[in-house]
Structure 1
Amino acid sequence: MTDDDLADALDTFITEARELLQDFEEGLLGLEDEPSAQDSVNALFRTMHTLKGSAGLFGLHHLVAFTHVVETVLDSVREGELAVSAELVSALLPCGDHVSSMVEGVAAGRLDATTSETVDGDRLLAALQPFLTLSSPLAPVLAEPEVDTLRTWRLTLRFGPDSLRNGMDPLSFLRYLATMGVLERVTTLTDALPDAEQMDPETCYLGFVIDFVSGAAKADIEDVFDFVREDSQISIVPADGQADDYVKVIEGLPDQDRLGDLLVRSGAVTDLEIARALQIQQERNRTGDSLPPLGEILIETQTVPKPVVDAALGKQRKTADSRSQETQTIRVYANRLDKLIDLVGELVIAQSSVGIHRPDEEGYDEAQGEVMRLVEEVRHSALSLRMVPIGTTLRRFERVVRDVCVDLDKDVDLVITGGEAEMDKALVERIGDPLLHLVRNALDHGVEPRADRERQGKPIRGKLRLNAFHDAGSIVIEVADDGRGLNRDRILGKAVERGMVQPGTVMSDHEVYDLIFEPGFSTVETVSNLSGRGVGMDVVRRNIAELRGTIEVLTTAGAGTTFRIRLPLTLAIIDGFLVGVGPSAFIVPLDRVTECVELPPNAAERDCMYLRGEVLPFIRLRTIFDIAGTPPRRQNVVVIEQSGQRAGLVVDTLLGQFQTVIKPLGVLFSEARCISGSTILGNGEVALILDVGPLVAENVSREQVLV
């Protein structure tokens, strides 16, 4: 198997392991509700068994050892020797987290357990000990396989002058080496011997160069000299002609980011030698010299031959290149790919039909229309490849709700609906953190303690509902609880107290509830481990705004609160409405447009107009973007709506609906407000895409609304 094949296989293992661990967590939570579900127990056992087997193929011994113990516990459950209980589920859930952490470590290039992972693993295994039956004792952590390949080592030994005085006979070390392998050649180094009259019989002047053939690992050979290491010079390197073996081993290793890790895993150096080289590196850095590369130090100290270091450096560079080129993978339904391929075939045929007609011939317009129809279908079909059900993301909160309820001593049922609704995979991955904040806040601040619910005549068990559905080209996600609801007066009072709102200001319910998203805002008197510091809700709104979404609060005192998030289905293409202001063009997201009207003549110099008895404030794009030129005699108003607030965009021309391919603005314009991206028009010009949320929030004053 080539290096590329091995890397691809490891990537596949990581992807499948992540999915298996997600299934493992969901299965455990389901098993707690239905302890007698044998199918669930079998599925959990198979998950750990599969993980253990796959990890063993890649030599991931720390994963094999840990999953073996978890598998043993689940086998006891499967055989009926161990009953399912809340305590067992509580012990197994963090084990899944630990395996997930180790898998992510493998994804980052760490093929061995870190010290912290080892400590965490030992703690979790100790927690599993009570659930292991006498017939299934706790399996010890598997050791690395012994090295059984014979290699020739060149040992250069210069014992310290006080070795004999300290009771260390150099020949005893040679005799011990002979029990581990064959001393093919021993050359005595006598260059340090003084003249006979100057010799001290208690001083060691001798050294040795030994060609040693053994199947022992380098670290085992190094351990022989533990007692004389500090005052002796000891070098253990592959003999001439043996370096090629280590080069081949390094080339066959999985990708690693660090040079030291590659050399240690190949067996060419030991952890102690790497530590010594790093110490030399730091000492030279402290003396003011430039920091020398680790590889140069290893070669300079004759710890490892140069060809071996060069091979490791080449592997390290290859790892860095593959990391930079790493792409995410997504599973696609085969029928969607088949449909896309069929559409592309139809498009090719339709394009050929257009080519055989002249523009003035009969049938040309029909053929051209068919091409445009197929292009539209190809677009929709291609976008569907990135669409995934949101249910997987929502089901992850079953674990969150369980753990938080244990911490808060509350009983809350999680109800998930609409999990089949699909959205862009990029959105699914980025909406998780905002939803986590909302779920934790709902459990902490929304749902009341048991005693309070009982006094109010509510069911002791609270309810938290996660719902998702499609609506007008968007996806809506709701986080709803049946708790105490938001206290309008308390929120407004806290805002006045902090100087965020002037006393006596008249505010709508929407504006008051929107205050909870301000940075640092909190009405909680005591801070808990979960929330109450005023950190999180502002992050929720900011993260959702970055996804071109909005969040709305619906609440009823004593009945509960619903947070409604509205997001586009995809971040790649949107339906837009194209407008013109002077020579500039702008795109307004079509789902924010409610209607278009002509600007009344008497509103030319005002900031609002009356539209069917309602005051509609204006946002003049010409003024905001400082566009030169004189407005035309007839202008238009595009009525937009954002979180229940309506406003009118004053523009020169209405250019109609436009399929908009979103292009990012780049780092230079990352701080630009009211603009979410750009697109390229058919004539090659650039049109800016308006970010309606900040545009309305920053440019519509309360005075305009109340005129």
Structure 2
Amino acid sequence: MNIDDVLKIFIAESQELLQQMEDALLQIEQNPHDPDLINAIFRAAHTIKGSAGLFGLDGIVSFTHVAESVLDRIRSGELAFNDALAALFLQVCDQLNALVAHVEAGGSLDELEPALHKQGAALVDTLSQYLSGTTAPASIVEAPAPVAREISDKPGEHWHLSLRFGPDVLRNGMDPLAFMRYLNTFGQIVHIVTLTEHIPATAEMDPETCYLGFEVAFATDADKETIEGAFEFVREDSQIRIFPPHSKTADYIQLISDMPEEDLRLGEMLVRCGALTQIELDEALRKQSGTEVSPQPIGQVLINEQAVQPQVVTAALQKQKQVKDNRTAESNLIRVDAGKLDQLINLIGELIIAGAGTQLVAQQSGAAELVESTGVLSRLVEEVRDCALTLRMVQIGTTFNRFQRVVRDVSKELGKDIALEITGGETELDKTVVEKIGDPLTHLIRNSMDHGIEPAQVRLERGKPVQGTVRLNAYHESSSIVIEVSDDGGGLNRDRILRKATERGLVGDNQSLTDKEIFNLIFEPGFSTADQVSNLSGRGVGMDVVKKNIMALRGTVELDSVEGVGTTTRIRLPLTLAIIDGFLIGVGKATYVVPLDMVEECIELTQEQSTTATQNSHFIDLRGDALPFVKLRELFAIEEDAPRRQNVVVVNYAGMRVGLVVDQLMGEFQTVIKPLGKIFDNNRALGGFTILGSGAVALILNISGVVQEIAERQPQPLPNAAMAITA
């Protein structure tokens, strides 16, 4: 095992734990006495401290120990969570994130940036004020002092740890003594006996092999799960046996039988550690050689100095079974490098292209068996494709939840009372899309809070509740995911936007625009209606970046707003950026692909419709409804003559139906999306290209861009506000 790889796992898990800790802290403000939230915060801090101790990251261990001590007082009821403590621990969370990021960048915790060190020291001082009678570490890089407690020397009064480290522990970068030092951070080692029987002669000794075992008497108030967590990184290749106080004699006898040492030698170690008395050992070994050992516990089992009732034991066993079931479910999950998934998708894409070529050859050969075989292969490849794409699908709720902190901090900075409501968090989309949508959402949420939500006094005057609301919602629509950012604020001021746009020359004096077109002006670079520049907004930077980032994901953004009621920003994104089902069409010698989920129907363009379209080139009659259309031959300037028979492919995007006039309908086709070069950046009607089985190139249509082309050619607004969806 490479220590760098293990460190990466520590960093990834620490970042996840800190995110969980932050989520719990944001909830604790509304439920300050919720024990589950308090325990979740404590467990996150405790796990990070323990893992950091294994890597010798004393700076993180020291800092987290102080925070954990305060959390321990909260768990015991000596302190109660309030707004001040919640805010303090959010800063602690930020500091830990910064320390972990410093380690990830390859930095040493002994050489922190002055600002980071100063901030950590200030937090330690503040936390220490909550530890009455407890001395906090003077420096962020000092190791924590052992937990002070009264130690009992009576046999059976403490935990017993039987440790046999694997021979490759040292080669894997682990130090057995580091585990002992870490145990002292949440308890105290009462007795320890080192087993050296397996150390070979000096000439035969391998300095990279671990030959040691330990029998440890350990006093702690922690539970078994916490103790087991200390040995997380060596559990698989080591023998770790943990016995709680007042364990049964039979358990220790079983230990003696399972371990490789001689029975008398190991029994002597257990007596020295205080796990057994000499009388109990002699009696147990005597019974082991004859009759079955009695399963009765040594002495009376006590919990909080009270005898355990049978029903309590039953409940505890049920609880333990639930925990075991949960761990079994968790053990079925594995971490996979995102780069490996990307490589898998790329290979499947190439497989699809190769499969299409094979199928084409089979059809040309006319061999029925070969055609059938390639058909089966094509179906299996499609299933593999769907399965692989599912591996990259993640719920957007994790991204949404991160904005709880943004809303909390920004609302305090603005002096407004604002809550975040989240719906549709279970909606899934491609991990690549999720990673890139965070920045645009941040801009939109901050704008809603700064410009949208009114001050408390204004809201009261308008009959609104003092607390404003920002909502995040996500849902699937056809082959897209729709993300909505809405607020119940003052909405967009149409006249003000138009006046600012006219002043900047974006709109002519006599130009007539719809409300949707006016609202979309806020996406222009440098456009702002703010009278004053603040820390959050007003410089005209942000909304144009939002539009640019969303378009880079082959998505669109639209605005709906009612003045005095609120604003909704609606983002539409493809579910995946890699592979889609397409519908192949031909115009002249060129071939194009339309996303299959957007195709509603295909109809023949009659001579009458063609004549009408020539006289009025904007609409055709589709069963009594006016259908706006575009001739791809004209859109892409194809100079070849049109055939006598043409077809119309009716597509639906965001509720807007349009027709594409084409020459040929060539059927369904699995499409591997490949990006076009920068020379095509200004062609909004194209979204990429793919390679056909014949080796020819087919262009993939960006239907949102095509809709925009149609909308701009019409002398009047299209139904369903087509311009709005193509902002």
TM-score scaled by structure 2? Answer: 0.63
Residue 429 of structure 1 deviates from its aligned partner by: 0.8
Residue 705 of structure 1 deviates from its aligned partner by: 4.3
Please point out which of 533, 538, 543 is paired with 1:537. Answer: 543
Q: Is the 8 A contact 2:479 2:598 kept in 1?
A: no
Provide closer, same or farther for how the CA distance between residues 60 and 502 of structure 1 changes in structure 2, counting only shifts above 3 A.
same
Give the match for residue 610 of structure 2: 601
Q: How does 1:428-447 map to 2 (within 5 A)?
A: 428-447=434-453
SS at match of 2:129: helix
Provide closer, same or farther for how the CA distance between residues 532 and 110 of structure 1 changes in structure 2, counting only shifts above 3 A.
same
CA deviation vs aligned residue, 1:251-284 (integer Å, no higher than 9, x gap): xxxxxxxxxxxxxxxxxxxxxxxxxxxxxxxxxx
Give the match for residue 510 of structure 1: 516
Q: Is the 8 A contact 1:617 1:704 kept in 2?
A: no
1:684 aligns with 2:688: no
Residue segments in structure 1 that go unaligned for 5+ positions in a row: 146-247, 249-325, 333-339, 341-350
1:6 aligns with 2:3: yes
Q: Distance in 2 between matches of 1:33 and 1:507?
A: 46
Q: Distance in 1 between matches of 2:510 and 2:678?
A: 43
Q: Is the 8 A contact 1:576 1:660 kept in 2?
A: yes
CA deviation vs aligned residue, 1:527-568 (integer Å, no higher than 9, x gap): 222112221111111111111112222222222111111211
Q: Is the 8 A contact 1:615 1:705 kept in 2?
A: no
Please point out which of 70, 74, 99 is paired with 1:73. Answer: 70
Give the match for residue 15 of structure 1: 12
Q: Distance in 2 between matches of 1:53 and 1:438?
A: 39
Provide closer, same or farther for how the CA distance between residues 103 and 137 of structure 1 changes in structure 2, counting only shifts above 3 A.
closer
Residue segments in structure 2 that go unaligned for 5+ positions in a row: 145-207, 209-334, 342-347, 349-358, 719-727
Q: How does 1:103-114 map to 2 (within 5 A)?
A: 103-112=100-109, 113-114=112-113
Q: How does 1:329-348 map to 2 (within 5 A)?
A: 329=338
Q: How does 1:466-481 map to 2 (within 5 A)?
A: 466-481=472-487
Q: Distance in 1 between matches of 2:690 and 2:76?
A: 61
SS at match of 2:581: strand
CA deviation vs aligned residue, 1:192-250 (integer Å, no higher than 9, x gap): xxxxxxxxxxxxxxxxxxxxxxxxxxxxxxxxxxxxxxxxxxxxxxxxxxxxxxxx9xx
Give the match for residue 124 of structure 1: 123
Please point out which of 82, 88, 103 is paired with 1:91. Answer: 88
Q: Is the 8 A contact 2:62 2:143 kept in 1?
A: no
Which residue identity does 1:608 align to in structure 2? H
Q: How does 1:651-670 map to 2 (within 5 A)?
A: 651-665=662-676
Provide closer, same or farther for how the CA distance between residues 381 and 106 of structure 1 changes in structure 2, counting only shifts above 3 A.
same
CA deviation vs aligned residue, 1:458-493 (integer Å, no higher than 9, x gap): 111112211112221222111111111222232223
Q: Distance in 1 between matches of 2:512 and 2:435?
A: 39
Q: Distance in 1 between matches of 2:41 and 2:633?
A: 62
Give the match for residue 140 of structure 1: 139
Q: Distance in 2 between matches of 1:103 and 1:611?
A: 63
Please point out which of 574, 584, 588 is paired with 2:594. Answer: 588
Q: Distance in 1 between matches of 2:508 and 2:653?
A: 24
Give the match for residue 102 of structure 1: 99
SS at match of 2:538: coil
Q: How does 1:186-197 map to 2 (within 5 A)?
A: none
Q: Distance in 1 between matches of 2:621 and 2:543?
A: 34
Please point out which of 58, 61, 64 is paired with 2:61. Answer: 64
CA deviation vs aligned residue, 1:409-463 (integer Å, no higher than 9, x gap): 1112211111111111111111111111111111111111111111111111112
Q: Distance in 1 between matches of 2:124 and 2:661?
A: 67
Provide closer, same or farther for how the CA distance between residues 684 and 565 of structure 1 changes in structure 2, counting only shifts above 3 A.
same
Give the match for residue 432 of structure 2: 426
Q: Distance in 1 between matches of 2:502 and 2:34?
A: 55
Q: Is the 8 A contact 2:526 2:541 kept in 1?
A: yes
Q: Is the 8 A contact 1:484 1:558 kept in 2?
A: yes
Residue 390 of structure 1 deviates from its aligned partner by: 0.8
Q: Distance in 2 between matches of 1:627 and 1:487?
A: 44
Which residue identity does 2:394 align to in structure 1? V
Give the match for residue 469 of structure 2: 463
CA deviation vs aligned residue, 1:653-685 (integer Å, no higher than 9, x gap): 222333212122356766765432211222221
1:399 aligns with 2:410: no
Provide closer, same or farther for how the CA distance between residues 592 and 487 of structure 1 changes in structure 2, counting only shifts above 3 A.
farther
Q: Distance in 2 between matches of 1:524 and 1:622?
A: 45
Q: Is the 8 A contact 1:522 1:532 kept in 2?
A: yes
Provide closer, same or farther for how the CA distance between residues 95 and 111 of structure 1 changes in structure 2, counting only shifts above 3 A.
same
Residue 93 of structure 1 deviates from its aligned partner by: 0.9
1:490 aligns with 2:496: yes
Please point out which of 361, 367, 385 is paired with 2:391. Answer: 385
Which residue identity does 1:556 align to in structure 2? V
Identity of aligned residues (%): 52
Give the match for residue 276 of structure 1: none
Q: Distance in 1 between matches of 2:85 and 2:654?
A: 46
SS at match of 1:33: coil
Give the match for residue 345 of structure 1: none
Q: Is the 8 A contact 1:132 1:138 kept in 2?
A: no
Q: Is the 8 A contact 1:390 1:421 kept in 2?
A: yes
Give the count of matched residue pairs.
502
Provide closer, same or farther for how the CA distance between residues 367 and 117 of structure 1 changes in structure 2, counting only shifts above 3 A.
same
Provide closer, same or farther for how the CA distance between residues 435 and 385 of structure 1 changes in structure 2, counting only shifts above 3 A.
same
Give the match for residue 152 of structure 1: none
Give the match for residue 38 of structure 1: 35
1:635 aligns with 2:646: yes
CA deviation vs aligned residue, 1:571-620 (integer Å, no higher than 9, x gap): 11123232212221112234444554445332358642344577665544
Q: Distance in 2 between matches of 1:17 and 1:644?
A: 44
Q: Is the 8 A contact 2:62 2:137 kept in 1?
A: no
Q: Distance in 1 between matches of 2:479 and 2:653?
A: 15
1:53 aligns with 2:62: no
Q: Distance in 1 between matches of 2:669 and 2:44?
A: 48
Q: Distance in 1 between matches of 2:107 and 2:68?
A: 23
Which residue identity does 1:98 align to in structure 2? Q
Q: Is the 8 A contact 1:438 1:479 kept in 2?
A: yes
Q: Is the 8 A contact 1:548 1:676 kept in 2?
A: yes
Provide closer, same or farther for how the CA distance between residues 550 and 671 of structure 1 changes in structure 2, counting only shifts above 3 A.
closer
Q: Distance in 1 between matches of 2:717 and 2:671?
A: 35
Q: Distance in 1 between matches of 2:401 and 2:123?
A: 24
Which residue identity does 2:578 align to in structure 1? A
Residue 328 of structure 1 deviates from its aligned partner by: 4.1
Please point out which of 632, 635, 639 is paired with 1:621. Answer: 632
Structural RMSD (CA): 3.3
CA deviation vs aligned residue, 1:115-161 (integer Å, no higher than 9, x gap): 4422332343344343333325345323599xxxxxxxxxxxxxxxx
Q: Is the 8 A contact 2:70 2:130 kept in 1?
A: yes
Q: Is the 8 A contact 1:65 1:139 kept in 2?
A: no
Provide closer, same or farther for how the CA distance between residues 651 and 127 of structure 1 changes in structure 2, counting only shifts above 3 A.
farther
Q: Is the 8 A contact 2:618 2:714 kept in 1?
A: no
Point out 4+ residue stretches in structure 1 off by more than 6 angstroms.
Answer: 364-368
CA deviation vs aligned residue, 1:66-102 (integer Å, no higher than 9, x gap): 2222222222222222221111111111221221122
Provide closer, same or farther for how the CA distance between residues 360 and 594 of structure 1 changes in structure 2, counting only shifts above 3 A.
closer
Q: Distance in 2 between matches of 1:138 and 1:521?
A: 51
Which residue identity does 1:675 align to in structure 2? L
Q: Is the 8 A contact 1:41 1:78 kept in 2?
A: yes
Q: Is the 8 A contact 2:128 2:135 kept in 1?
A: no
SS at match of 1:432: helix
Residue 516 of structure 1 deviates from its aligned partner by: 1.7
Provide closer, same or farther for how the CA distance between residues 59 and 114 of structure 1 changes in structure 2, counting only shifts above 3 A.
farther
Which residue identity does 1:601 align to in structure 2? S
Q: How does 1:151-300 map to 2 (within 5 A)?
A: none
Q: Distance in 2 between matches of 1:382 and 1:504?
A: 54
Q: Distance in 2 between matches of 1:590 and 1:669?
A: 23
Quick check: 28-37 or 676-685, which moved more? 676-685
Which residue identity does 2:618 align to in structure 1? C
Q: How does 1:520-599 map to 2 (within 5 A)?
A: 520-599=526-605
